[in-house]
């Protein structure tokens, strides 16, 4: 293992010396993003299981997924403001809000949490309001920290560190899930977010005049800037890319709210649910490691279209194997996680490289809004299907079908097929 990390270090895969050693701002950004991403993912994963465990009602897990996505539906409104205000200040404020939400869940009496689902749903809503601000702020900040040619490396490195950290936390949750009450998990979540908040103190970049004059933006200028972002997303390559990503987001949210039930039906239990996340995370480690060589060798359309086909096939195989042996399906989950992360890295990089630099946050928030509209509908539909359909495996198969159908449709997109290698975008 030590030899593997040594080789990865000097190949610039894990640490990427030119970025990590020489760019102190990126180093601070990396530490902050790693811990904040772990904190967000632990909350997102655990809260769905808590709702399922306390109430055993697929409609409630569907509502939890819906509340997680509702803030993102209107996130495009914040785009012009995020483009003008300090991204670092926004990231700190969002992380602090998420920390406070988790602390409230820790101090509330057990009777309040188990007495009604609305307390948990409100916590999900507030937590994700903060996330809606943090995501585009981080996306817009990274191109200001690293050069355009290093964006794929920087995005990969951010995901790798988050995945390694998430893997460690997932293993800890696996050990604790059946042994402690929910408050212990919330406490771990709070500590992770507090570390992220503290690490953000070392995150500094010089603010431009445009970034500092956010409060002076006129209403007319705001709508003009918002229109610019909408126009860019609504045409050509960006439109087709967004439609593909949104379609997958819709199908995946149908699956997400039914995943606890799928695990229960296949005798996985609480520990099995966490183990599923662990193997998905293991696959997520391999994804960033292969993204750089894949990006150098293949053009973007090949990566995206073939990636979608492979993701659809691996998810379908996972479902089939899990019905026979839940534990035997874990390696396939890892393969699916690897493919999904590769697609995510290239989609994220395109979102950063295709728009004009001054519109990155606007485009990112519009993407977030579209994502969350699809996810909100998917969560409600997933909750409904979970209540009305006896075969949960059929519900999960919708995601596999979505990957394949979208891959086929992308083959007919002239603008997507015209994209070069990622370094030339």
CA angle, corner 319, sides to 392 and 63, nearest 5? 40
CA distance 120 to 113: 7
- In this prediction, residue 177 carries a pLDDT of 62
0.75 exceeded by pTM: no
pLDDT at position 409:
93
Residue 268: pLDDT over 80? no
Distance CA 389, CA 158 (A): 39
Domain locations in the chain as residue ranges: 19-206+224-424
For 33-54, the pLDDT digits (tens) are 888 888 888 888 778 778 877 7
> For 109-148, what is each residue's pLDDT tens digit?
776 666 678 888 889 999 988 988 888 888 778 878 877 6
Average pLDDT, the chain: 80
Q: What is the pLDDT of residues 69-111, one digit of tens each?
A: 788 777 777 777 777 778 888 899 999 999 999 998 888 877 6
**Alpha-carbon gap, residue 97 to 92, rounded angstroms:** 9
3-state secondary structure the chain: CHHHHHHHHHCCCCCCHHHHCCCHHHHHHHHHHHHHHHHHHHHHHHHHHHHHHHHCCHHHHHHHHHHHHHHHHCHHHHHHHHHHCCHHHHHHHHHHHHHHHHHHHHHCCHHHHHHCHHHHHHHHHHHHHHHHHHHHHHHHHHHHHCCHHHHHHHHHHHHHHHHHHHHHHHHHHHHHCCCCCHHHHHHHHHHHHHHHHHHHHHCCCCCCHHHHCHHHCCHHHHHHHHHHHHHHHCCHHHHHHHHHHHHHHHHHHHHHCCHHHHHHHCCCHHHHHHHHHHHHHHHHHHHHHHHHHHHHHCCHHHHHHHHHHHHHHHHHHHHHHHHHCCHHHHHHHHHHHHHHHHHHHHHHHHHHHCCCHHHHHHHHHHHHHHHHHHHHHHHHHHHHHHHHCCCHHHHHHHHHHHHHHHHHHHCCCHHHHCCCCHHHC
CATH 2.40.128.30 is right for the domain spanning 19-206+224-424: no
Q: Which pLDDT score, from 0 to 100, does residue 339 have?
A: 93
CB atoms within 10 A of CB 7: 11
Q: Between 321 and 201, whose confidence is greater?
A: 321
Token look-up 């709210």 returns: 257
pLDDT at 3 over 70: no
């Amino acid at each position: 293992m030590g030899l593997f990390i040594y080789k990865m270090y000097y190949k610039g895969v894990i640490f990427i010396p030119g970025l990590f050693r020489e760019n102190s701002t990126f180093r601070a950004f990396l530490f902050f993003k790693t811990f904040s991403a772990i904190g967000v993912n632990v909350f997102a994963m655990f809260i769905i299981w808590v709702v399922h465990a306390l109430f055993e009602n697929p409609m409630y897990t569907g509502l939890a997924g819906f509340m997680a996505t509702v803030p993102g539906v209107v996130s495009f409104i914040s785009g012009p403001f995020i483009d003008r205000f300090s991204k670092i200040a926004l990231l700190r404020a969002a992380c602090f809000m998420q920390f406070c939400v988790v602390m409230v869940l820790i101090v509330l009496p057990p009777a309040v949490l188990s007495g009604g689902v609305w307390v948990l749903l409100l916590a999900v809503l507030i937590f994700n309001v903060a996330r809606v601000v943090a995501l585009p702020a981080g996306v817009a900040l990274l191109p200001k920290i690293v050069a355009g040619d290093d964006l794929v490396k920087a995005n990969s490195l951010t995901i790798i560190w988050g995945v390694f950290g998430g893997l460690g936390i997932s293993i800890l949750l696996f050990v604790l899930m059946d042994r402690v009450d929910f408050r212990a998990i919330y406490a771990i979540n709070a500590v992770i977010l507090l570390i992220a908040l503290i690490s953000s103190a070392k995150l500094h970049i010089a603010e431009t005049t445009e970034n500092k004059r956010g409060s002076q933006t006129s209403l007319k200028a705001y709508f003009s800037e918002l229109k610019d972002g909408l126009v860019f997303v609504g045409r050509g390559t960006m439109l087709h890319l967004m439609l593909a990503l949104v379609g997958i987001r819709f199908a995946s949210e149908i699956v997400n709210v039914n995943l606890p039930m799928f695990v229960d039906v296949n005798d996985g239990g609480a520990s099995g649910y966490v183990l599923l996340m662990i193997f998905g995370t293991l696959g997520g480690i391999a994804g960033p490691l292969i993204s750089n060589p894949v990006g150098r060798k293949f053009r973007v359309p090949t990566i995206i279209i073939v990636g979608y086909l492979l993701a659809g096939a691996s998810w379908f195989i996972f479902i089939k194997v899990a019905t026979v042996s839940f534990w035997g399906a874990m390696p396939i989950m890892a393969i699916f996680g690897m493919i999904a992360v590769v697609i995510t890295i290239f989609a994220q990089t395109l979102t950063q490289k295709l728009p004009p630099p001054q519109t990155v946050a606007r485009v990112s928030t519009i993407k977030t809004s579209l994502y969350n509209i699809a996810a909100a509908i998917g969560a409600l539909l997933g909750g409904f299907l979970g209540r009305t359909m006896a075969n949960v495996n059929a519900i999960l198969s919708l995601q596999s079908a979505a990957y394949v159908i979208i891959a086929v449709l992308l083959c007919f997109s002239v603008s997507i097929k015209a994209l070069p290698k990622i370094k030339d975008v």
